[in-house]
Structure 1
Amino acid sequence: MRKRIGILAVIVIALIIGYSYINQSHRDIEHENAEFNVNAIEIASNFSENTSLAETKYLNTTIEVNGNITEVNSNSITLNDKVFCQFTKAIETTLKSNTTVKIKGRVIGYDDLLEQVKLDQCTIN
Protein backbone atom coordinates (compact mmCIF):
# COMPACT_ATOMS: atom_id res chain seq x y z
CA MET A 1 0.00 0.00 0.00
CA ARG A 2 2.80 2.45 0.87
CA LYS A 3 4.54 1.60 -2.39
CA ARG A 4 1.43 2.52 -4.40
CA ILE A 5 1.00 5.81 -2.55
CA GLY A 6 4.69 6.64 -3.14
CA ILE A 7 4.44 5.90 -6.85
CA LEU A 8 1.22 7.91 -7.11
CA ALA A 9 2.86 10.87 -5.31
CA VAL A 10 5.85 10.78 -7.70
CA ILE A 11 3.53 10.71 -10.73
CA VAL A 12 1.46 13.65 -9.43
CA ILE A 13 4.61 15.71 -8.72
CA ALA A 14 6.01 14.90 -12.19
CA LEU A 15 2.73 15.98 -13.80
CA ILE A 16 2.69 19.27 -11.89
CA ILE A 17 6.31 20.04 -12.82
CA GLY A 18 5.69 19.10 -16.46
CA TYR A 19 2.58 21.26 -16.68
CA SER A 20 4.41 24.24 -15.13
CA TYR A 21 7.31 23.83 -17.55
CA ILE A 22 5.10 23.66 -20.64
CA ASN A 23 2.90 26.62 -19.65
CA GLN A 24 5.55 29.20 -18.83
CA SER A 25 4.65 32.86 -19.24
CA HIS A 26 5.77 34.54 -22.45
CA ARG A 27 8.52 37.15 -22.55
CA ASP A 28 7.46 40.75 -22.99
CA ILE A 29 10.24 42.02 -25.25
CA GLU A 30 8.71 45.50 -25.45
CA HIS A 31 9.28 46.08 -21.71
CA GLU A 32 12.60 44.23 -21.35
CA ASN A 33 15.85 46.14 -21.18
CA ALA A 34 18.05 45.64 -24.23
CA GLU A 35 21.24 43.69 -23.55
CA PHE A 36 23.00 45.17 -26.58
CA ASN A 37 22.73 48.43 -28.51
CA VAL A 38 24.23 47.93 -31.98
CA ASN A 39 24.25 49.24 -35.52
CA ALA A 40 22.60 47.13 -38.25
CA ILE A 41 25.80 46.84 -40.27
CA GLU A 42 27.84 45.95 -37.17
CA ILE A 43 25.61 43.05 -36.08
CA ALA A 44 25.34 41.74 -39.65
CA SER A 45 29.13 41.69 -40.00
CA ASN A 46 29.43 39.86 -36.66
CA PHE A 47 27.14 37.12 -37.99
CA SER A 48 28.76 36.91 -41.42
CA GLU A 49 32.30 36.69 -40.01
CA ASN A 50 31.65 34.07 -37.32
CA THR A 51 28.07 32.81 -37.14
CA SER A 52 28.53 30.44 -34.21
CA LEU A 53 30.23 33.07 -32.03
CA ALA A 54 27.57 35.66 -32.89
CA GLU A 55 24.77 33.19 -32.14
CA THR A 56 26.31 32.45 -28.77
CA LYS A 57 26.41 36.17 -28.01
CA TYR A 58 23.11 37.41 -29.50
CA LEU A 59 20.68 34.52 -30.00
CA ASN A 60 17.44 34.87 -28.00
CA THR A 61 18.56 38.17 -26.46
CA THR A 62 16.80 41.51 -26.59
CA ILE A 63 18.75 44.10 -28.57
CA GLU A 64 18.30 47.63 -29.85
CA VAL A 65 19.48 48.05 -33.41
CA ASN A 66 19.65 51.29 -35.36
CA GLY A 67 19.94 51.80 -39.09
CA ASN A 68 18.38 53.16 -42.25
CA ILE A 69 15.11 51.70 -43.45
CA THR A 70 15.53 49.99 -46.81
CA GLU A 71 12.17 48.21 -46.99
CA VAL A 72 8.83 48.69 -45.21
CA ASN A 73 5.89 46.26 -45.21
CA SER A 74 2.72 46.14 -43.13
CA ASN A 75 4.38 44.19 -40.30
CA SER A 76 8.12 44.19 -41.08
CA ILE A 77 11.02 46.55 -41.69
CA THR A 78 14.44 45.82 -43.18
CA LEU A 79 17.38 47.92 -41.98
CA ASN A 80 20.38 48.48 -44.28
CA ASP A 81 19.37 45.29 -46.19
CA LYS A 82 21.03 43.44 -43.26
CA VAL A 83 18.51 43.21 -40.41
CA PHE A 84 14.93 41.96 -40.88
CA CYS A 85 12.58 43.12 -38.10
CA GLN A 86 9.19 41.44 -37.74
CA PHE A 87 6.52 43.21 -35.71
CA THR A 88 3.68 41.62 -33.76
CA LYS A 89 1.25 44.42 -34.70
CA ALA A 90 0.87 46.35 -37.94
CA ILE A 91 3.25 49.29 -38.10
CA GLU A 92 2.51 52.88 -39.02
CA THR A 93 2.63 53.64 -42.72
CA THR A 94 4.32 57.04 -42.29
CA LEU A 95 7.74 55.39 -42.18
CA LYS A 96 9.68 55.78 -45.39
CA SER A 97 12.87 54.39 -46.87
CA ASN A 98 16.20 56.06 -45.96
CA THR A 99 14.86 57.08 -42.55
CA THR A 100 17.03 56.27 -39.54
CA VAL A 101 15.21 54.37 -36.78
CA LYS A 102 16.02 52.47 -33.61
CA ILE A 103 14.22 49.16 -33.18
CA LYS A 104 14.11 46.82 -30.19
CA GLY A 105 13.54 43.12 -30.72
CA ARG A 106 14.63 39.56 -29.99
CA VAL A 107 17.31 37.94 -32.15
CA ILE A 108 15.98 34.66 -33.57
CA GLY A 109 18.76 33.83 -35.99
CA TYR A 110 20.73 34.54 -39.13
CA ASP A 111 19.66 33.75 -42.69
CA ASP A 112 22.78 32.66 -44.61
CA LEU A 113 21.02 32.82 -47.97
CA LEU A 114 19.79 36.42 -47.64
CA GLU A 115 22.63 37.37 -45.26
CA GLN A 116 20.18 38.97 -42.84
CA VAL A 117 19.87 38.92 -39.06
CA LYS A 118 16.28 38.10 -38.06
CA LEU A 119 14.46 39.82 -35.18
CA ASP A 120 10.93 39.23 -33.95
CA GLN A 121 8.55 40.91 -31.47
CA CYS A 122 9.99 44.26 -32.55
CA THR A 123 8.97 47.74 -31.46
CA ILE A 124 10.14 51.12 -32.74
CA ASN A 125 11.89 53.27 -30.13
Structure 2
Amino acid sequence: MLNKLLLNRSQIKKYLVLTLIVLITIVGYKYLYKEHRIIENEIPRYSLTAQQIYSEFNNDFEISQNKYGDKIIEVSGLVSEINETDITIDNKVFCQFTKQIINREQMNNSRIIVKGRLIGYDDLLEQVKLDQCLIN
Protein backbone atom coordinates (compact mmCIF):
# COMPACT_ATOMS: atom_id res chain seq x y z
CA MET A 1 0.00 0.00 0.00
CA LEU A 2 2.85 2.36 0.83
CA ASN A 3 4.28 1.80 -2.63
CA LYS A 4 1.03 2.96 -4.23
CA LEU A 5 1.11 6.23 -2.24
CA LEU A 6 4.65 7.09 -3.16
CA LEU A 7 5.29 8.59 -6.57
CA ASN A 8 8.03 7.11 -8.64
CA ARG A 9 10.77 9.25 -10.13
CA SER A 10 9.23 9.50 -13.60
CA GLN A 11 5.96 10.80 -12.15
CA ILE A 12 7.83 13.40 -10.08
CA LYS A 13 9.72 14.54 -13.18
CA LYS A 14 6.45 14.86 -15.11
CA TYR A 15 4.92 17.05 -12.38
CA LEU A 16 8.05 19.22 -12.18
CA VAL A 17 8.18 19.69 -15.96
CA LEU A 18 4.46 20.52 -16.06
CA THR A 19 4.87 23.03 -13.21
CA LEU A 20 7.86 24.61 -14.94
CA ILE A 21 5.94 24.94 -18.22
CA VAL A 22 3.01 26.60 -16.45
CA LEU A 23 5.33 29.06 -14.66
CA ILE A 24 7.19 29.95 -17.87
CA THR A 25 3.87 30.50 -19.65
CA ILE A 26 2.57 32.81 -16.91
CA VAL A 27 5.80 34.84 -16.72
CA GLY A 28 6.00 35.08 -20.52
CA TYR A 29 2.40 36.28 -20.78
CA LYS A 30 2.94 38.93 -18.09
CA TYR A 31 6.11 40.11 -19.86
CA LEU A 32 4.56 40.34 -23.34
CA TYR A 33 1.18 41.74 -22.34
CA LYS A 34 1.99 44.45 -19.83
CA GLU A 35 -0.78 46.65 -18.45
CA HIS A 36 -1.55 49.70 -20.53
CA ARG A 37 -0.09 52.94 -19.30
CA ILE A 38 -2.48 55.69 -18.30
CA ILE A 39 -0.67 58.79 -19.50
CA GLU A 40 -2.92 61.28 -17.75
CA ASN A 41 -1.94 59.81 -14.35
CA GLU A 42 1.81 59.93 -15.04
CA ILE A 43 4.05 62.86 -14.22
CA PRO A 44 6.17 64.12 -17.14
CA ARG A 45 9.87 63.29 -16.79
CA TYR A 46 10.95 66.24 -18.94
CA SER A 47 9.46 69.61 -19.85
CA LEU A 48 10.84 71.24 -23.01
CA THR A 49 9.97 73.59 -25.80
CA ALA A 50 9.34 72.15 -29.25
CA GLN A 51 12.55 73.77 -30.49
CA GLN A 52 14.63 72.23 -27.65
CA ILE A 53 13.46 68.65 -28.22
CA TYR A 54 13.80 69.06 -32.00
CA SER A 55 17.37 70.39 -31.65
CA GLU A 56 18.37 67.52 -29.37
CA PHE A 57 17.13 64.95 -31.89
CA ASN A 58 18.83 66.75 -34.77
CA ASN A 59 22.16 66.95 -32.89
CA ASP A 60 22.30 63.34 -31.71
CA PHE A 61 19.43 60.99 -32.50
CA GLU A 62 20.68 57.97 -30.53
CA ILE A 63 21.31 59.83 -27.28
CA SER A 64 17.96 61.63 -27.55
CA GLN A 65 16.07 58.43 -28.33
CA ASN A 66 17.63 56.68 -25.33
CA LYS A 67 16.92 59.67 -23.08
CA TYR A 68 13.32 60.44 -24.13
CA GLY A 69 12.08 57.30 -25.91
CA ASP A 70 8.85 55.86 -24.45
CA LYS A 71 8.92 58.48 -21.66
CA ILE A 72 6.22 60.97 -20.78
CA ILE A 73 7.28 64.52 -21.65
CA GLU A 74 5.71 67.98 -21.80
CA VAL A 75 6.26 70.07 -24.91
CA SER A 76 5.36 73.74 -25.25
CA GLY A 77 5.15 76.02 -28.26
CA LEU A 78 2.84 77.57 -30.82
CA VAL A 79 0.25 75.47 -32.61
CA SER A 80 1.26 75.51 -36.28
CA GLU A 81 -1.25 72.93 -37.54
CA ILE A 82 -4.32 71.35 -36.02
CA ASN A 83 -6.57 68.51 -37.21
CA GLU A 84 -9.30 66.41 -35.61
CA THR A 85 -6.94 64.17 -33.62
CA ASP A 86 -3.48 65.71 -33.96
CA ILE A 87 -1.58 68.95 -33.44
CA THR A 88 1.78 70.09 -34.77
CA ILE A 89 3.74 72.44 -32.52
CA ASP A 90 6.19 74.90 -34.13
CA ASN A 91 6.32 72.60 -37.19
CA LYS A 92 8.71 70.47 -35.10
CA VAL A 93 6.61 68.21 -32.83
CA PHE A 94 3.67 66.08 -34.00
CA CYS A 95 1.21 65.21 -31.21
CA GLN A 96 -1.34 62.42 -31.75
CA PHE A 97 -4.38 62.45 -29.44
CA THR A 98 -6.58 59.50 -28.56
CA LYS A 99 -9.75 61.63 -28.64
CA GLN A 100 -11.06 64.27 -30.98
CA ILE A 101 -9.78 67.79 -30.23
CA ILE A 102 -12.47 70.26 -29.20
CA ASN A 103 -12.30 74.04 -29.94
CA ARG A 104 -9.77 73.62 -32.75
CA GLU A 105 -10.48 77.05 -34.25
CA GLN A 106 -9.52 78.83 -31.02
CA MET A 107 -6.24 76.93 -30.66
CA ASN A 108 -4.68 77.78 -34.04
CA ASN A 109 -1.51 79.90 -33.58
CA SER A 110 -1.90 79.89 -29.80
CA ARG A 111 0.66 78.86 -27.19
CA ILE A 112 0.08 75.36 -25.87
CA ILE A 113 1.56 72.77 -23.52
CA VAL A 114 1.05 69.12 -24.47
CA LYS A 115 1.87 66.03 -22.42
CA GLY A 116 2.45 62.74 -24.23
CA ARG A 117 4.62 59.68 -24.76
CA LEU A 118 7.57 60.17 -27.08
CA ILE A 119 7.56 57.48 -29.74
CA GLY A 120 10.40 58.70 -31.94
CA TYR A 121 11.67 61.02 -34.62
CA ASP A 122 10.47 61.05 -38.23
CA ASP A 123 13.49 61.67 -40.49
CA LEU A 124 11.36 62.28 -43.57
CA LEU A 125 9.14 64.97 -42.03
CA GLU A 126 11.82 66.06 -39.54
CA GLN A 127 9.39 65.95 -36.62
CA VAL A 128 9.47 64.54 -33.13
CA LYS A 129 6.45 62.25 -32.61
CA LEU A 130 4.30 61.97 -29.48
CA ASP A 131 1.22 59.81 -28.96
CA GLN A 132 -1.51 59.52 -26.32
CA CYS A 133 -1.30 63.29 -25.90
CA LEU A 134 -3.23 65.54 -23.55
CA ILE A 135 -3.46 69.32 -23.50
CA ASN A 136 -2.32 70.82 -20.20
Q: Is TM (by shorter chain) over 0.5?
A: yes
- State how 1:11-26 maps to structure 2 within 5 Å: 11-26=21-36
Deviation of residue 23 (structure 1)? Answer: 2.8
Q: Which amino acid aligns with 2:109?
A: N
Larger Rg: 2
Root-mean-square deviation over aligned CA pairs? 1.0
1:115 to 102, 126, 133: 126
Q: Distance in 1 between matches of 2:64 and 2:25?
A: 37
Query: What does the per-residue CA deviation read over 1:61-110, in whole Å, with 9 as the maximum and x for residues that have no partner?
Result: 10010000000000000000000000000011244321000000000000
Structure 2 counterpart SS, 1:89: coil
Query: What percent of counterpart residues are identical?
Result: 46
Deviation of residue 16 (structure 1)? Answer: 1.5
- State how 1:41-52 maps to structure 2 within 5 Å: 41-52=51-62
Q: Which has the higher helix share?
A: 2
TM-score where L is the length of structure 2: 0.88
TM-score where L is the length of structure 1: 0.95
- Alignment length (residue pairs): 125
Are the counterparts in 2 of residues 72 and 95 from structure 1 also a CA contact under 8 Å? Answer: no
Comparing both chains, which one has the higher relative contact order based on Cα–Cα distances under 8 Å and sequence gaps of 6 or more?
1
